[in-house]
Structure 1
Amino acid sequence: MSQAMIRAGLTALLLAVAAPSLAVLPDEMLADPKLEARAREISKGLRCLVCRNENIDESNADLARDLRLLVRERLSAGDSDRQVVDYVVDRYGEYVLLSPTTKGANWLLWAAGPLMLLMGGGLAWVYLRGRARAPHPQDAALTEEEQERLRRILDQQDG
C-alpha cells in the first residue's frame, strides 16, 4: 500500500468522523468555551425544520444555521438553557424539539402506541376465546336423516 493511499484513507476517515461537526462554522462559534458548550448541548435537542431527522448542529441547511445563531445570541444575552429552548419553541412550535414534551395534545401521541397495543391484544384475546368456544365441525354427529342420505349417495356411487 502506498503512502498516498494511506493518507487518502486517513483523510476520508477523519472527514467521516468529523462530518457532523462541520455544520457549525467557525464564524458561528462563541468566544467563550463554556457558552459554546452550552450552545452545542442545546442544539443537540433542536430539530432542523428542513432536514427533520437531524439536529441543528449537524445540519447544513440555512434555517439550521439561523437557529444556531439564534441560540448563541440568546445565550450571549444571558438567557438560561431553558429560556433559550422556550424562546425557540415559542417561535417555531414544539416540532422543533427532537424529543417533544408530553404536555397538551402531545400526551395522545405518546399514549397512542401503548393504547393500540392494548387494544390489539384485547381484540386478539376476544377472537381466540370466541374461536375456542365455537363448535368444531368434526365433533358434530350426523342426524339419522343425514346418515340415511349419505348411505344413499354412497350406494349410488358404488352401483
Structure 2
Amino acid sequence: MLVRTLAILLAALLLIVASAPASVFVTPAFAVNPDEMLSDPGLETRARKLSAGLRCLVCQNESIDDSNADLAKDLRLLVRERLKAGDTDEEVIDYLVSRYGEFVLLRPRFDWANLALWATPMVVLLFGGVLAFVTVSGRRKRQAPQDLSAAEEAAIAKITADRR
C-alpha cells in the first residue's frame, strides 16, 4: 500500500514538473562573467548597482547586467574601469551619458530637456478630467427641468380638458 502511494505521489510530482513552464524552475541569470568581476566586494557591489540601471544599447529593454551582447560586456567593463580609477557613481553615469546620451539610462533623468516626457502623462490626465467635468456638467444643465410659462400651462390645461 505504501509503495503504491509513493508511486502515485512520484508520478504526480513528475507530471507537475513536466507541465510547468521552465521559468518556474530557473533563477535569473546575470550576464556578468566571473572574469569581469572586481576583487573588491565594495566596488563590485557599486558596479552591479550601476549596471542594473544602464540600458543595453543592443537589446534596449535589458540592463547591461542582464544582457549577453558584446556591447553590454564592454559597458560593464567600462563601468568597472571607471570605478577602479576612483570615479564616483555619478561621475561614471555622467561619463556614459556624455558618450551614449540619455538613452543609456533605463530611468531618464528629470531635466528641462526631457520635461515633455515626464509631463505628458499628467497633462493628458488633467485634460481628460477637465473634459469629463465639462461634458457631465453640460449634460446636467441641458437635462434640468424648466418652469412652464403661463401660456404653456394654459395650453396643457386646454388639451387635458378636451380629452375628458
Quick check: TM above 0.5?
yes
Aligned with residue 36 of structure 1, among 16, 38, 44 = 44
- Runs of 4+ in structure 1 deviating by more than 3 angstroms, as ranges, are 12-15
- Secondary structure of 1:101's aligned partner: coil
- Secondary structure of 2:112's aligned partner: coil
Q: How far 1:105 sits from its partner (Å)?
A: 2.3
Counterpart check, 1:99 vs 2:107: yes
C-alpha distance 13-120 of structure 1, shift in aligned 2 (>3 A)? closer
Which residue of 1 is the match for residue 34 of structure 2? Answer: 26
Superposed, 1:133-152 pairs within 5 Å as: 133-134=141-142
Aligned with residue 74 of structure 2, among 46, 66, 84 = 66
Q: How far 1:73 sits from its partner (Å)?
A: 1.0
Which residue of 2 is the match for residue 155 of structure 1? Answer: none
C-alpha distance 14-24 of structure 1, shift in aligned 2 (>3 A)? farther
Q: What TM-score, normalized to structure 1?
A: 0.73
Tell me the number of residue pairs that the alignment of Structure 1 and Structure 2 aligns.
138
Superposed, 1:79-118 pairs within 5 Å as: 79-118=87-126
C-alpha distance 52-13 of structure 1, shift in aligned 2 (>3 A)? closer
Separation in 2, partners of 1:88, 1:46: 9
Cα RMSD (Å) of the superposition?
3.1
Note the residue ranges of structure 2 that are not aligned, 5 or more in a row. 1-9, 160-164
Identity across matched positions, percent: 56
Which residue of 1 is the match for residue 65 of structure 2? Answer: 57
- Secondary structure of 1:16's aligned partner: coil
- Secondary structure of 1:124's aligned partner: helix
C-alpha distance 63-15 of structure 1, shift in aligned 2 (>3 A)? farther
Note the residue ranges of structure 1 that are not aligned, 5 or more in a row. 149-159
